[in-house]
Chain A
Amino acid sequence: MNTGRYGQYGGQYVPETLMNTLHELEEAYEGCRKDPVFQSELAGLLNRYAGRPSLLYFAKNLTDKTGGAKIYLKREDLNHTGSHKINNVLGQALLAKGMGKTRLIAETGAGQHGVATATAAALLGMACEVFMGKEDTERQALNVYRMRLLGAKVHAVTSGTMTLKDAVNETMREWSSRVDDTHYVLGSVMGPHPFPMIVRDFQSVIGKEIRTQLQKEEGRLPDAVVACVGGGSNAIGAFYDFIGEPSVRLIGCEAAGKGVDTEQHAATIAKGSTGVLHGMKSLFCQDEFGQIMPVYSISAGLDYPGIGPEHANLHETGRAEYIPVTDDEAVEAFNYLSRTEGIIPAIESAHAVYHAVKLAGTMTKDQVVVICLSGRGDKDVAAVARYQGEDIHE
């Protein structure tokens, strides 16, 4: 079987207990990929339940104010549950159900993936348990309650740094103790093969739609596609269809927190080195002895010390560029997009907005930049208010 390599990155570095399960998953997925019934069922859910295709919105005010390239927003924030996460979750939940699993488990950072998984579980009549770093349950309390409303059990993870990385550890541990009836709905293009491939395939609907929609609007390809990167699922989803189009610049924006020259960032590409964690060989923020370092970002969804292996390879081959964006810059873009277009972006997506606007300003008016607006910002309102010195209660 294919062990899922992207250049030197990827692989299946997991305990033996999980290996058979990963092979079964790969086999089931290969079946579904070719199965027209599965594909039409998934397309039906994406269209009639999640609200796809999502809009490709020409941000005229933003474009006029910037005075450069035309800026389009791919509105993943308008999907059901408020982010791109639902694309992957509906695919994996259907796949798991087809494999006879009755219980879904998932890690979550900001809570968006947890909410999406709880939603799919409710829809398909499956049990659901979500693991979330204790620190994240505090900064995203609203999402915790949303998951509970949807019938999921939320575990606050108290090991390690109590954030997304530790939530992944705990979900892997849980899965290794119970594989018979349980599927781990991994939320990003990370982890052991086949997850980076499965998640990328389910998210690649984003880029396919961008291509078709922009063709209709502008009759051309974009000059640049910009997306935020934590593990990198919305970015790979937006990029994937364009990897073979050398005229399209692919730009990932990673979380620089308080700056890449401080110790408080999550800028894996800028500051990380090759290592092995969570089932994959990739780039990680780590010390000289291979201990994973605590990372930081205002955005719980980007607060992860690694990046998906396909991104590590796109970086290494130079096909995609990765730019660090700080908390301050992301908050500035959060405010700016809200006032300019009346769209409050997720703080994760605001990282991409910041860089894309800067980039568009250096480009000509006949060029086009597409920003993947991966999620909506309601969940971040209280945190951004606090960041700007206003203590509001949700």
Chain B
Amino acid sequence: MSRIADAFENGKAFIAYLMAGDPDLETAAELIVEAQEAGADLIEIGIPFSDPIAEGEVIQQASIRALSAGTKLDGVFGMVASLKRRVRVPLVFMTYLNPVFVFGYERFFAKCREIGVCGIIIPDLPYEEQAEVKVVANQYGVELVTLIAPTSNQRIEAIAKNAEGFLYLVSSMGVTGMRQSITTDIRAVIRDIRAATGLQVAVGFGISSEEQVEKYSTIADGVIVGSAIVKLVGEYAKAAGPKVSEYIRRLKGVQRKA
């Protein structure tokens, strides 16, 4: 099974987010392969949730599309399992705590190990509440990725020291979604993180343009692009493959030169 660290081994990492079940599970599976072939170094697979409080409009809509298409957790596991021979890059889940909690931590993470998912990102699980999840995830070889926000300030040190996988640095206040400009002093936050840990830092929330990918690939170890990709899936549905591929290829190209 690939490890999260593999994603950072060939220079800066390009992390792509796709929603499982959007527009349906079969298409989502093909999009994951397309994303890998286009140069994504790690892929976050969103498990749709009815109440995604950290998401902006674009990913909220994708959740609704996926749930309306009948996507259920067992279907997501089946879809990811079907990719085992085709996907080399590390895969992590991104979802909210409730679907994991209700399925049962033991069952959930045992399933992750079985299908080759090596990490999980849970935006509504802050550092203080992680223990109950982390201990079980780690038993099954799944790393719990923690987020750091522009408001984390004096919390950074404790979070970073206990982090694993990579650190997900939230670029801006608010929810996910494309932004014209990011006003947080990312450089300063990364400096604080680096003082506490040697773990890689990837910047996400609001990143969509070539300029942003170039800028944040220079100062961080990777960038995370979600809403911009999901928006293409929303527009082109089953025909989104070439569009997603072309978009990631272009941004990964920019990143390679950065």
Does A89 count as interface, using CB distance less than 8 angstroms? no
Q: By the criterion CB–CB under 8 Å, are B101 and A3 in contact?
A: no
User: Which residues of B are found within 8 Å of A317, using beta-carbon distances?
Assistant: none
C-alpha gap A355/B64 in the complex (Å): 38
Interface string of A211-228 (1 = CB under 8 A from B): 000000000000000000
Q: By the criterion CB–CB under 8 Å, are B151 and A177 in contact?
A: no
Choice from B127, B128, B146, B174 contacting A17 with Cβ under 8 Å: B174
Interface residues, chain B, CB within 8 Å of chain A? 49-54, 56, 60, 64, 67, 72-73, 96-103, 123-129, 146-153, 155, 159, 170, 173-175
Closest Cβ–Cβ distance, residue B152 to chain A (whole Å): 6
Most chain A beta carbons < 10 A, residue from B52, B102, B148, B153: B102
User: Which residues of A are found within 8 Å of B56, using beta-carbon distances?
Assistant: 173
User: Which residues of B are found within 8 Å of A177, using beta-carbon distances?
Assistant: 173-175
Q: By the criterion CB–CB under 8 Å, are A292 and B155 in contact?
A: no
Choice from B50, B101, B123, B153 contacting A15 with Cβ under 8 Å: B123
Q: By the criterion CB–CB under 8 Å, are B147 and A16 in contact?
A: yes
| Chain A to chain B: the 9 pairs with minimum beta-carbon distance, closest first | A177-B174, A290-B102, A17-B149, A290-B99, A290-B98, A16-B149, A291-B50, A292-B50, A276-B97
Q: By the criterion CB–CB under 8 Å, are A13 and B175 in contact?
A: no
Does A394 count as interface, using CB distance less than 8 angstroms? no
Choice from B64, B124, B127 contacting A276 with Cβ under 8 Å: B124
Closest Cβ–Cβ distance, residue B107 to chain A (whole Å): 12
Most chain A beta carbons < 10 A, residue from B72, B129, B152, B170: B129
Q: By the criterion CB–CB under 8 Å, are B147 and A15 in contact?
A: yes
User: Which residues of B are found within 8 Å of A279, using beta-carbon distances?
Assistant: 124
CB < 8 Å A-B pair total: 120
User: Can you show 12 pairs from A to B with CB atoms below 8 A apart?
Assistant: A15-B53, A15-B149, A16-B148, A17-B149, A17-B174, A19-B155, A20-B151, A169-B53, A173-B174, A277-B51, A279-B124, A281-B101
User: Which residues of A are found within 8 Å of B99, using beta-carbon distances?
Assistant: 289-291
Residue of B nearest to A174 (CB): B174
Most chain B beta carbons < 10 A, residue from A176, A273, A292: A176
Closest Cβ–Cβ distance, residue A307 to chain B (whole Å): 15
C-alpha gap A279/B124 in the complex (Å): 7
Q: By the criterion CB–CB under 8 Å, are B173 and A286 in contact?
A: no
User: Which residues of B are found within 8 Å of A275, using beta-carbon distances?
Assistant: 98, 101-102
C-alpha gap A274/B97 in the complex (Å): 12
Closest Cβ–Cβ distance, residue A134 to chain B (whole Å): 15
Chain A interface residue count, Cβ-Cβ cutoff 8 angstroms: 38
Q: By the criterion CB–CB under 8 Å, are A20 and B153 in contact?
A: yes
Q: By the criterion CB–CB under 8 Å, are B127 and A16 in contact?
A: yes
Choice from A12, A166, A281, A289 contacting B128 with Cβ under 8 Å: A12
C-alpha gap A11/B54 in the complex (Å): 18
Does A66 count as interface, using CB distance less than 8 angstroms? no
Choice from B67, B98, B147, B152 contacting A277 with Cβ under 8 Å: B98
C-alpha gap A12/B152 in the complex (Å): 15
Interface residues, chain A, CB within 8 Å of chain B? 3, 11-21, 159-160, 165-166, 169, 172-173, 176-179, 273-279, 281, 284, 286, 288-292
C-alpha gap A243/B46 in the complex (Å): 43
Choice from A18, A169, A274, A289 contacting B51 with Cβ under 8 Å: A169
C-alpha gap A19/B101 in the complex (Å): 21
Q: By the criterion CB–CB under 8 Å, are A17 and B124 in contact?
A: no
Closest Cβ–Cβ distance, residue B93 to chain A (whole Å): 13
With contacts A13-B129, A17-B173 taken as known, whether A289 is within 8 angstroms of B53 at the C-beta atoms is no
Closest Cβ–Cβ distance, residue A21 to chain B (whole Å): 7
C-alpha gap A20/B173 in the complex (Å): 12
Q: By the criterion CB–CB under 8 Å, are B155 and A173 in contact?
A: no
Q: By the criterion CB–CB under 8 Å, are B170 and A16 in contact?
A: yes
C-alpha gap A70/B209 in the complex (Å): 70
Most chain B beta carbons < 10 A, residue from A13, A165, A277, A281: A13
C-alpha gap A21/B150 in the complex (Å): 12
C-alpha gap A172/B174 in the complex (Å): 9
Q: By the criterion CB–CB under 8 Å, are A17 and B170 in contact?
A: yes
Q: By the criterion CB–CB under 8 Å, are B101 and A178 in contact?
A: no
Q: By the criterion CB–CB under 8 Å, are B174 and A12 in contact?
A: no
Most chain B beta carbons < 10 A, residue from A15, A18, A286: A15
User: Which residues of B are found within 8 Å of A278, using beta-carbon distances?
Assistant: 51, 53
Closest Cβ–Cβ distance, residue B232 to chain A (whole Å): 21
With contacts A15-B149, A275-B98, A288-B102 taken as known, whether A3 is within 8 angstroms of B60 at the C-beta atoms is no
Most chain B beta carbons < 10 A, residue from A173, A281, A292: A173
C-alpha gap A159/B49 in the complex (Å): 13
Closest Cβ–Cβ distance, residue A312 to chain B (whole Å): 14
Closest Cβ–Cβ distance, residue B205 to chain A (whole Å): 9
Q: By the criterion CB–CB under 8 Å, are B129 and A12 in contact?
A: yes
Choice from B97, B126, B175 contacting A16 with Cβ under 8 Å: B126
User: Which residues of B are found within 8 Å of A290, using beta-carbon distances?
Assistant: 49, 73, 98-103
Most chain B beta carbons < 10 A, residue from A16, A172, A281, A288: A16
User: Which residues of B are found within 8 Å of A11, using beta-carbon distances?
Assistant: 129
User: Which residues of B are found within 8 Å of A292, using beta-carbon distances?
Assistant: 50-51, 98
Choice from B64, B73, B124, B125 contacting A289 with Cβ under 8 Å: B73
Choice from A12, A274, A291 contacting B67 with Cβ under 8 Å: A291
C-alpha gap A33/B82 in the complex (Å): 57
C-alpha gap A130/B146 in the complex (Å): 31
